[in-house]
């Protein structure tokens, strides 16, 4: 089996425990390997302090021969040279060790003498081996304790995660995960998951409404086309058939426009915006008025002579301006004004008409999909209720804003704010 795959299949508790235990054991083993040097250094330092305090000093010449009448010391020529150089000598001998400390002292006539003091460290190596064994045993025991403590700690820390998992598995629609009281990463995770669930529920509800509304809107033109086709088949009169076909063409165009709008919104919902580029809003506003074609309305464009660049794409700007103009043309009595107002960080597009306006209670909802303001006669004022929704989606996707207020002309004022292109 692949070791990496085996490792990844273990539980998080197991992996954390193994890593913590392994790291602790390696550190303790490294310390154990250094233990003989540390223990020996402690022993030698203690002996050095004792020798300097009460040690019996011997006097030798520079060749290592005794001058104080005592027996010859068991020192090699190399050790004598080290003592004359002020270095201390440690000689291992079986299980013990010998320590020598020396210094050169000059007599009154200038003759150098080597003063040496030494002692035997009984059981030096045995003590080191015994200390190493005990430290090795202690390292294993401490590593086991670290592993047990890590296991219990991780188990306790992950218990809220297990509760979150169980709660998420049995979570009904509209409910949220319990948020732990502790202000830690688990609380932040629960809050983030609850936010994700809220967005999921909102997206599901939007999709449900969108699907229902789309089916309802598509049913009407399809039913109309089918009914008129059945009438034409039942009454094969040429003149009547032409009249029916003209109605079918009109309904087909309406159906095609609805499908195109639904496709645009579906693509917009994916969140994949094309790269923004500089688009002259003043130029596009004038082009949209030209595309409006022949109309009995007076349409004015107020825009500066210089370019007013916004951060978007040309197709987005065309869709927004065309939809706003068509909406104004549908409701205006005689007059429409299109204004382009540049500022430091944004460019405003204002479309005014002299129609009946949008009642205040509908001003936030007119940008919802399939929402249409009802007239006094209880019928919708026209359109599919998708144009303004598409406007809001495209503008807000570029970090802009759109709103509707009352126009000085007495009708509605739609105001779009686009970020300037920098």
Q: How does residue 264 score in pLDDT terms, banded at 50, 70 and 90?
A: low
pLDDT category of residue 341 using cuts at 50, 70 and 90: very high
In this prediction, residues 339-347 reach a mean pLDDT of: 91
Strand order in the sheet with 346-353: 298-302, 335-342, 346-353, 412-419, 401-406
CA 12 to CA 36: how far, in whole Å? Answer: 38
Q: 45 to each of 41, 51, 52, 142, how far by Cα in Å?
A: 6, 10, 11, 29
178 neighbors 197 (Cβ within 8 angstroms)? no
Neighbours of 410 (CB within 10 A): 14
**Residues 132/138/142/145 CA torsion (nearest 10 deg):** 150
Sign of the torsion formed by the C-alpha atoms of 119, 106, 72 and 58: negative
pTM summary value: 0.49
Class of residue 393 by CB neighbours under 10 A (exposed 0-12, middle 13-18, buried 19+): buried
pLDDT of residue 420: 92
Full strand arrangement of the beta sheet holding 58-60: 58-60, 112-121, 96-106, 89-93
Kindly report the average pLDDT of the chain as a whole number.
81
Q: What is the separation of C-alpha 281 from the centre of its chain, rounded to a whole number of angstroms?
A: 35
pLDDT computed for residue 348 by the predictor? 94
Give alpha helix (H) positions in 235-313: 238-269, 281-291
How many other C-beta atoms can be found within 10 angstroms of the C-beta atom of residue 245? 14
Rounded CA-CA distance 331/139 in Å is: 86
Average pLDDT over residues 37-63: 76
- pLDDT, one tens digit per residue, over 156-213 is 877 777 777 777 777 777 777 777 776 777 778 778 878 877 877 777 776 776 676 6
User: Tell me, what's the pLDDT at 213?
Assistant: 62
Look-up: residue for tokens 């204002």?
350
Number of C-alpha atoms within 13 angstroms, CB side, residue 352? Answer: 14
pLDDT digit string (tens) for 77-103? 888 888 888 888 888 777 778 888 888
Residue 250 buriedness (CB in 10 A; 0-12 / 13-18 / 19+): middle
């Amino acid at each position: 089996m692949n070791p990496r795959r085996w490792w990844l299949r273990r539980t998080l508790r197991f992996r954390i425990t193994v890593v913590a235990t392994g790291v602790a054991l390696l550190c303790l083993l490294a310390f154990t390997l250094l233990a003989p040097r540390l223990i020996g250094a402690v022993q030698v330092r203690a002996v050095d302090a004792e020798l300097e305090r009460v040690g019996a000093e011997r006097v030798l010449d520079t060749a290592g021969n005794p001058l104080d009448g005592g027996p010859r010391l068991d020192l090699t020529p190399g050790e004598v040279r080290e003592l004359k150089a002020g270095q201390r000598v440690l000689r291992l001998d079986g299980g013990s060790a010998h320590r020598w400390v020396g210094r050169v002292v000059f007599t009154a006539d200038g003759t150098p003498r080597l003063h040496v003091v030494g002692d035997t460290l009984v059981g030096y190596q045995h003590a080191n081996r015994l200390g190493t064994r005990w430290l090795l045993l202690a390292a294993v025991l401490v590593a086991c304790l670290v592993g047990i403590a890590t296991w219990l700690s991780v188990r306790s820390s992950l218990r809220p995660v297990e509760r979150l998992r169980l709660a998420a598995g049995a979570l009904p629609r509209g409910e949220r995960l319990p948020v732990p009281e502790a202000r830690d990463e688990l609380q932040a995770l629960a809050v983030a998951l609850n936010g994700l669930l809220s967005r999921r529920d909102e997206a599901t509800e939007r999709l449900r409404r969108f699907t229902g509304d789309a089916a309802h809107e598509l049913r009407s033109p399809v039913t109309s086309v089918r009914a008129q086709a059945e009438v034409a088949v039942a009454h094969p009169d040429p003149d009547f058939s032409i009249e029916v076909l003209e109605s079918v063409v009109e309904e087909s165009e309406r159906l095609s426009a609805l499908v195109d709008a639904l496709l645009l919104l579906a693509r917009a919902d994916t969140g994949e915006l094309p790269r923004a580029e500089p688009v002259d809003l003043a130029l596009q506003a004038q082009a949209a008025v030209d595309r409006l074609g022949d109309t009995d309305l007076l349409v004015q464009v107020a825009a500066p002579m210089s370019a007013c660049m916004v951060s978007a794409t040309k197709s987005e700007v065309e869709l927004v301006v065309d939809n706003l103009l068509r909406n104004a043309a549908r409701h205006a009595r005689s007059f429409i004004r299109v204004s382009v107002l540049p500022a430091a960080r944004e460019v405003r597009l204002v479309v005014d008409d002299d129609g009946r306006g949008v009642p205040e209670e509908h001003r936030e909802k007119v940008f919802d999909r399939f929402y249409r303001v009802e007239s006094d006669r209880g019928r919708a004022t026209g359109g599919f209720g998708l144009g303004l929704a598409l406007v809001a989606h495209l503008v807000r996707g570029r970090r802009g804003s759109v709103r509707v207020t009352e126009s000085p002309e007495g009708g509605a004022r739609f105001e779009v704010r686009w970020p300037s292109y920098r």
